[in-house]
């Protein structure tokens, strides 16, 4: 069979529908209407277990662009970007006696080099936009005053919640690491819950425990569980008049749709949270491969995918080098335009769009 060559118009289209129809001309006014405090944190999260790839760079660029545009509208307000560094994500895993154990990034010195790349990227975005930033690790996130109450609510309702967010195992994937070796029961299979204590077991050092109020900084979560807790915490802080800041969130569009509505929002609703007052959530466009699938960090790391793509799309340092330090500036110009002309925000883009835009091959 002969290979077909597909021709394209080399013209961009922005078909209107759903949010792009409603916010075709302006989304800033709507987002600005949700702000009622003098300090605003625009939050983005990532696992610093590899170099930031292009999709990650887009999310952070969009966050800084939004902060810059909101600051221009509100010169009297303190608007910052917050990087929620998920250093409790898995670094190493092993199966012992049919139980999967993991060691998190915060126990792994190797992850430090990737964390520094995130820091470098964020510092450059800050300099380009004039927007200040905060980098917060999970230990600090978990030390927030409302965490204990939120986690207790989830543990009390763990049978109901685990059926929604973990239908495969129906277990609550809240973890505490062994204080001696850092191993944690990844799926919470052997966890026990007594009062405010979580009791876990290390295959080498026996049982250990943590109090969800006094030692909340030790807690680790699965991705959907962390999303539930983050939404609940941000909502609590937004509603607390004694806390001077409020939250806005930016995440990738791969977390939209069924995941957000059926897993996260449904769980929050069943836990008694008012989902109508959750923090404003803005989705960043996905970066797609030739077939329409999102560029996946896990495929790149585990299976060596995307060998046909230029390395700069998968590696922040290569991107910075090949654009002679101008790449992040070009991204900011692009995401600024998305915020100002939001019909360009509510769609996805292929890697070839950016290869054409940057003329790097």
Q: Is the pLDDT of residue 263 over 70?
A: yes
pLDDT above 90 coverage of the chain, percent? 73
What pLDDT was estimated at residue 17? Answer: 77
Return all residues near 166 (Cβ < 8 A) that are at least 6 apart: 172, 173, 187, 222, 224
What pLDDT was estimated at residue 204? Answer: 95
Q: Quick check: helix, strand or coil at residue 340?
A: helix
pLDDT in tens, 171-180: 999 999 999 9
pLDDT in tens, 197-245: 999 999 999 999 999 999 999 999 999 999 999 999 999 999 999 999 9
Q: What is the mean pLDDT of the chain?
A: 91
pLDDT above 70 coverage of the chain, percent? 93
What pLDDT was estimated at residue 354? Answer: 86
Helix (H) or strand (E) holding 85: strand 78-85
> How many Å is the Cα radius of gyration of the chain?
21
How far is Cα of residue 17 from the mean position of the Cα atoms in its chain? 25
What pLDDT was estimated at residue 90? Answer: 79
Q: What share of the chain is helix, strand, coil (3-state, %, to 5)?
A: 45, 20, 35
Helix (H) or strand (E) holding 113: helix 112-129
pLDDT in tens, 304-332: 678 888 888 888 999 999 888 899 999 99
Residue predicted with more confidence, 297 or 120: 120
Whether the full predicted model's pTM is greater than 0.85, yes or no, is yes
d(CA 135, CA 122): 9
What pLDDT was estimated at residue 61? Answer: 98
What pLDDT was estimated at residue 111? Answer: 65
What pLDDT was estimated at residue 257? Answer: 94
What pLDDT was estimated at residue 1? Answer: 36
What pLDDT was estimated at residue 6? Answer: 46
pLDDT in tens, 49-108: 888 989 999 999 999 999 999 999 999 999 999 999 998 877 888 999 999 999 988 766
Q: Domains along the chain? A: 19-89+109-142+224-358 (3.40.50.620)
């Amino acid at each position: 069979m002969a290979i077909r060559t597909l021709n394209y118009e080399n013209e961009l289209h922005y078909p209107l529908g759903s949010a792009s129809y409603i916010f075709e001309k302006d989304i800033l006014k709507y987002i600005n209407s949700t702000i009622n405090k003098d300090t605003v944190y625009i939050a983005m999260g990532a696992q610093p277990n590899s170099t930031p790839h292009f999709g990650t760079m887009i999310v952070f660029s969009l966050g800084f662009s939004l902060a810059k545009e909101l600051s221009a509208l509100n010169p009297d307000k303190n608007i910052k970007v917050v990087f929620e560094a998920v250093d409790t994500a898995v670094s190493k895993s092993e199966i012992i006696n049919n139980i999967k154990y993991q060691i998190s990034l915060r126990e792994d010195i190797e992850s430090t080099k990737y964390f520094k790349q995130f820091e470098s990227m964020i510092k450059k975005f800050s300099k380009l936009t004039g927007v200040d930033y905060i980098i917060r690790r999970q230990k600090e996130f978990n030390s927030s005053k409302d965490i204990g109450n939120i986690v207790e609510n989830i543990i009390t309702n763990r049978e109901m919640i685990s059926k929604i967010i973990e239908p495969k195992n129906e277990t609550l994937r809240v973890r505490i690491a062994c204080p001696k070796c850092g191993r944690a029961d990844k799926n919470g299979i052997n966890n026990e819950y007594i009062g405010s204590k979580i009791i876990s077991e290390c295959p080498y050092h026996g049982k250990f425990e943590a109090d969800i109020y006094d030692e909340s900084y030790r807690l680790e979560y699965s991705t959907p569980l962390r999303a539930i807790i983050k939404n609940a915490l941000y909502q609590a802080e937004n509603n607390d008049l004694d806390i001077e800041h409020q939250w806005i969130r930016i995440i990738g569009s791969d977390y939209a749709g069924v995941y957000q509505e059926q897993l996260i929002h449904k769980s929050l609703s069943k836990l008694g949270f008012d989902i109508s007052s959750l923090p404003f959530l803005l989705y960043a466009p996905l970066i797609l491969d030739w077939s329409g699938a999102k560029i996946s960090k896990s495929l790149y790391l585990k299976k060596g995918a995307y060998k046909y793509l230029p390395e700069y799309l998968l590696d922040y340092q290569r991107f910075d080098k090949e654009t002679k330090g101008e790449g992040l500036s070009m991204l900011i110009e692009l995401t600024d335009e998305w915020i100002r002309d939001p019909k360009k925000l509510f769609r996805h883009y292929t890697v070839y769009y950016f290869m054409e835009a940057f003329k790097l091959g």
